[in-house]
Amino acid sequence: MPVSFSWEPAEQRLTLRIGSIVFRGGRPVVNGLLLPDPRIETVGQSDSGITLQPSAPGLRGGTFGLTVLPVAGLAAGASDPALQIRYWLEDLPEDFVLDSFGIRFDVIENMRLYLPMGYNCWDGATYQEPEAMPHGDADRAEQGYAVTQVIPRFGSGSVILGFDRHDRFQQTFTYETRQRPVASPSRLSGIARHVPVRAASRSAWSPSPIPASRKPCAPGQDL
């Protein structure tokens, strides 16, 4: 399953391609809102990775760092390396109130199902298929914790997205399927909720392809 990324300087958005699934329009989010009027500099770039440094007036002199790099080695049964997305905030003023920060992708292409995981073992997990549900279905689960899975409509395999440091932050994956028509691509936000200890924090999550022959994560597992 090929894994790649691209940075679109004109639109200042990140795109991930994992097998047949494409995540487009990746942009930083702070306290639940997209950074307004961001200025994003490319600090470093190579064939295998990129480092970006967005800044915005709302950060009051602070910066939002973002790197995308391949993970060394292969997961069991995988033929391509996973990607790691690492992001952080730094140089925020002492009185800056930080509740959460993360990345939002405007579009997920070729998604059939997604799996929102419960926070505790008794919460369980159920695959959600937005196109098979009435628009605005109240029973549709959109938010999960720590790890999620996306299954394509066309093609084989699937994509696992998971945070690496769930012990220090309450991380969520949120699919904004109610705010868009059922037939339109959905949005995805990966958010780390900050424990207010200091005004600079780091978080990372890794999107990884898994072969069609492997089973997904067990629902209800403690994470």
Select, from the ranges 74-78, 126-130, 177-181, the one with the highest average predicted confidence (pLDDT). Answer: 126-130
Residues 6+ apart with CB under 8 A from 52: 7, 14, 40, 41, 42, 43, 65, 66, 67
DSSP sequence for 20-47: TEEEEEEEEEETTEEPSS-EEEEEEE-S
Look at residue 197 and tell me if it is in a domain: yes
CA distance 94 to 51: 25
Look at residue 71 and tell me if it is in a domain: yes
Q: What is the predicted pLDDT for the residue at 78? A: 63
* Sole residue written with tokens 């993360």: 102
Burial class (CB in 10 A: 0-12, 13-18, 19+), 13: middle
Look at residue 221 and tell me if it is in a domain: no
The whole domain housing 20 covers 3-210
| Residues 108-166 pLDDT 10s | 999 999 998 887 777 778 888 887 766 556 667 888 888 899 999 988 888 888 887 66
Residues 6+ apart with CB under 8 A from 223: 117, 119, 145, 146, 147, 166
Look at residue 215 and tell me if it is in a domain: no
Find out whether 118 and 144 touch, Cβ atoms under 8 Å.
yes
Give the CATH number of the domain where residue 118 resides.
2.70.98.10
* Whole-number average pLDDT of the chain: 74
CA distance 171 to 168: 9
Report which of residues 222 and 25 the model is more confident about.
25
Q: Is the pTM of this model over 0.85?
A: no
pLDDT surpasses 80 at 195: no
CA distance 217 to 208: 13
β 158-163/33-34 pair status:
unpaired
Look at residue 220 and tell me if it is in a domain: no
Look at residue 183 and tell me if it is in a domain: yes
Find out whether 204 and 164 touch, Cβ atoms under 8 Å.
yes
Find out whether 223 and 160 touch, Cβ atoms under 8 Å.
no
User: Residue 169 CA to chain centroid, in angstroms?
Assistant: 15
DSSP sequence for 106-163: EEEESEEEEEEBPSSTTT-B--B-GGGS-TT-TT---EEESEEEEEESSSS-EEEEEE
Least confident of 25-29, 71-75, 109-113, 124-128: 71-75
Look at residue 170 and tell me if it is in a domain: yes
Query: How many folded domains does the chain comprise?
Result: 1
Look at residue 70 and tell me if it is in a domain: yes
* Sole residue written with tokens 């060394």: 72
